[in-house]
Amino acid sequence: MNFTCQCCGACCRVPGYVALEAGEAETIASFLGMDIYAFTEQYALLTGNRGNLSLIERPDGGCIFIQDDNTCRIQPVKPAQCKGFPFQWKSKQLKAICPELRVGATGRAPA
Q: Does residue 18 surpass a pLDDT of 70?
A: yes
pLDDT at 55: 96
What mean pLDDT do residues 11-31 have? Answer: 91
Q: Does residue 36 surpass a pLDDT of 80?
A: yes
Q: Does residue 91 surpass a pLDDT of 70?
A: no
pLDDT at 44: 96
Query: Which H helix or E strand runs over 82?
Result: helix 80-83
What mean pLDDT do residues 73-102 have? Answer: 77
- Per-residue burial over 43-71, b if 16 or more Cβ lie within 10 Å, else e, is bbeeeeeeeebbbebeeeeebebbeeeee
* Predicted model pTM: 0.79
